[in-house]
Structure 1
C-alpha cells in the first residue's frame, strides 16, 4: 500500500482522480488494481464499511477468470516469494505476524508440501486471512480444506481475500 496510515481521510480519498484513488489503494487486493479502478465510480465513501462493500461488489461481479487471477495473485504462505524476499510489504507483515517466518525446517517442509498438494488439487494457491492465526492453525487449515471440492475452495478463497482486504483497509485508515 502506498499511503501511510493517517495520511488520507475517506473524504479526501473520495475526491481523488481515479488514478490517484487507485494508487492510494494499491495492495488492498493483491496485485489487482482493477478492483479499486471499478470501485472508484461508487464514490463518495463515508465509511470503511462502504468502501469495503463497494470493492467486494466489484469482486462479486467480476468474471470467473478475473476472480481466479486475483486468487492466483496471492503468494503461497512461506513459499518461494517469502524465501526470495519478493512478497509485497503487506504480505510480508501478515505472514510475519502469523509466525510463518519462524517455521522450523520440519514445519516449513510440511507447509510447502501442503501448499503443493493444495495447488495440485485446486489449481490455485491456498488463501487465508492469517491475522490472528498461528502457523500451526494455518497448516491445519490447509490440511482440512484439502477435503473440500473446487467450487467450495474457490468461494472460500474469495471470502478470505475479502477479509484480507478489510484488514488492510483498517490498517490504512487506522
Structure 2
C-alpha cells in the first residue's frame, strides 16, 4: 500500500504513482471529477507543474460536451445552499472563505442568491469563477456581467475558470 502525497509533494512523486494513487491524490483538483486525473495519468511523466496542469486541462478539453457540462455542474453555487449546509468540499470551503463569501451581509447574500438563480435559469449550470484574490464585490460584479454572455461563450468561460481553480488547487498541493 503506497502513501498518498500530502501538501509539499513533488511533481516527480506524483508522476511515479500508480494510476489509482494518482487519481486518489489528484481526483479533487477538478471538483468531484476524478476522471480528469485518470485521463491525465496516461501523459506521465510530468516534468513540471505546468505540464501536469496542461495534461489535466487537455483531458477536459478533449472530453465530450456532456462530460464538460457535468464538470461545470459539479461546482457549487457561491454562497449557495451547499455552503449554508456545510456540504462543500474542503477546497471549495477554503476558497469561498478566502473570498469572504462566508461574511456576506444580508443584502450581499440576497443579491448573490438572486444572481445565482438568474444565471442558472439562463445557462442551466452554476456560475463558476476562480475566487482566489477576489472580494465579494468583484465576484458579484462578475456574476452580473457574465449574465450578458451568450451560452457558448459562458460555457467556455466556465471551463477556463475551472482550469484556473484547478491550478490554484494543484499549486496548493505542491506548495
Q: Into which bin does the TM-score normalised by the smaller protein fall?
A: over 0.9
- TM-score when scaled to structure 2? 0.96
Question: Do 2:6 and 2:173's aligned partners in 1 also have CA atoms closer than 8 Å?
Answer: yes
- The Cα shift of 1:4 comes to 2.9
- The Cα shift of 1:12 comes to 1.5
- TM-score when scaled to structure 1? 0.97
Task: Output one character per residue of 1:5-45: Cα deviation in whole Å (capped at 9) or x when no partner.
Answer: 11x22111111110000001131000000000000000001
Question: How many pairs were matched up?
Answer: 172
Aligned to 2:110: 109
SS of residue matched to 2:115: helix
Aligned to 2:37: 36
Task: Output one character per residue of 1:47-104: Cα deviation in whole Å (capped at 9) or x when no partner.
Answer: 0000000001101110000000000000000000000000000000000000000001
SS of residue matched to 1:83: helix
Which of 1, 4, 7 does residue 5 from structure 1 map onto?
A: 7
Aligned to 2:159: 158
Gapped regions of structure 1 (runs ≥ 5): none
Task: Output one character per residue of 1:118-165: Cα deviation in whole Å (capped at 9) or x when no partner.
Answer: 000000000000001001100011100101100000000000000000
Alpha-carbon distance in 2 for matches of 1:109, 1:91: 20
**C-alpha RMSD of the superposition:** 0.9
Alpha-carbon distance in 1 for matches of 2:6, 2:167: 16
Alpha-carbon distance in 2 for matches of 1:122, 1:20: 35
Q: Aligned ranges for residues 17-36 of structure 1 at < 5 Å? A: 17-36=18-37
Change (3 A) 1:74 1:3: farther
Report which stretch shifted further, 11-20 or 159-168. 11-20
Aligned to 2:55: 54
- The Cα shift of 1:3 comes to 4.4
Alpha-carbon distance in 1 for matches of 2:6, 2:103: 27
SS of residue matched to 2:46: coil
Alpha-carbon distance in 1 for matches of 2:6, 2:15: 17
